[in-house]
Amino acid sequence: METRKIPGTDLNLSVIAFGSYASGKGWAPSERKSAIEAIRASYQLGVTTFDTAPIYGLGDTEAILGEALSCFPRDKVQILTKFGLRWLYVRGRPFRTVVSFDGKDVNIYRYATRESVIEECENSLRRLKTDYIDLYQLHWPDEATPFEETFEAVSRLVEQGKVRYVGVSNVTPEQMDEIGKIVPVVSLQMPYNMVERGIEKDVMKYCIDSNRAILAYRPLEAGLLTGKIRPDATWPRNDSRNTNPYFTPDNIRRVNAFLEQLRPLASEKKATLAQLALRWTANRSGITSVLAGAVNSLEAVENARAAEISLSRRDMDFINGTLLKLDTEMINEALRKTRVRLAALS
C-alpha cells in the first residue's frame, strides 16, 4: 500500500484510509461483526489509517474501531478521530438531528468549550482502547466558542501526550490561519470527489502553499459514484441524500451516464467504477489520503485495492475531459431551474 507523509510530522498515511462514517448506523450483533471484519480486512491489505468520530454511531463506531484494531500493533496504525459535536448535552449551536439505533431522534450540537474538548478526548481514548490519538481534528467549528479556548485545550492534550498532531475539518483557509496562530495545524479534512470539487477553487492551493495535508472524505459521494444508484432510489428518514442536490433523479441519470463513459477504462484497468473514482481522487494534486467507508469485508477489500490501480496522465486527462461535460450539464440544469423559479415569481 502506498503511503504519504503529512508534512511536518512522522505520520505516514495509507493513500486509501478507512473512513468509518458508514460504520456508524447503530448495530445488530451481525452488523457489528461485519464492521469489525471490514476494518481488519483493510489492515490485512495495507490500510494503516483509520478515521472516525464520536458522533458516528453516537460513540459506538469508535468502540467498534477500538475493538477491531486491538489485535494489531498500536504503532502500525494511525488512529484519527474528531471533537466538537456533542449529543449528551443541550449546549452550543444546533447542528443536525440524527436517528439513534433504537429509532429515536437525537439532537447534535456544535460545542467545543475547554471542558468539553477535554471530556471528549477522554471518552474517545476509552472507546478506542488507546492512550493516544495520532490526529485529533475539529469536526465542525463552534462559532459560540473562541478558537483560543478550544485549541488551548487541544494544546494541553498534546502536552500530555494524549494527542500527537492536530487537524481540522470543514473550515475555511481564513479559519485555518486563525487556528494556526494557537496550535500547529497539519491537515484539513474536506469532502472531495469527482462531482464535489469545491475545494479546487482555493482550498487546495492554500493547503499546498502552506504545506498541509488534505484528507478527502466522501470520495464516492455516498455511493453515487459506484454506478449502482438508480434514479428512483429512496432513502431512510434523516438520510442526508434526501437533501443532497446530487441525488435528484435527473442528476443521478447524468452521473450514471458519465460513469458509463468511464466503464471501458475501468474494464481496461480490471477495476470497478468505485475503484476508479477512488484512484482518481488519490491522484489529484494536494490529496494525501482518501477516506473510503465500508460496511463489510468485501467493500473494504475493493476499496483497499483501488490503491493498486495505475492511472496515466492520458487516463486522467480523459476522465477530466469527461467530467467537464458533466459539469456543463449540471450547471445548465441548475440555471434552467433558476430561470423557471424566477419566471414563476414574476
The rounded distance, in Å, linking the Cα atoms of 188 and 132 is: 20
Q: Are 293 and 20 in contact (CB under 8 A)?
A: yes
- Is residue 56 part of the annotated active site? The answer reads yes
User: Distance of CA 121 to CAs 81, 124, 280, Å?
Assistant: 9, 5, 34
- The amino acid at 159: E
Using DSSP, state whether 292 is helix, strand or coil: strand
Integer distance in angstroms from the first to the last C-alpha of the chain? 58
User: Is the Cβ–Cβ distance between 177 and 127 less than 8 Å?
Assistant: no
Q: Which of 21, 56, 111, 217 is catalytic?
A: 56
Measured distance CA(264)–CA(279) in Å, rounded: 16
CA angle 205–211–214, rounded 5-degree value: 65
Q: Name the phi and psi angles at 5, rounded to 5.
A: -85, 135
Determine the Cα–Cα distance for residues 78 and 134; give it in Å rounded to an integer: 6
Cell 462559532: give the residue.
143
258-261: Cβ within 8 A, 24+ apart = 258/322, 258/323, 258/325, 258/326, 259/225, 259/227, 260/227, 261/322
Nearest to 189 by CA among 146, 138, 236, 235: 138
Active site residues: 56
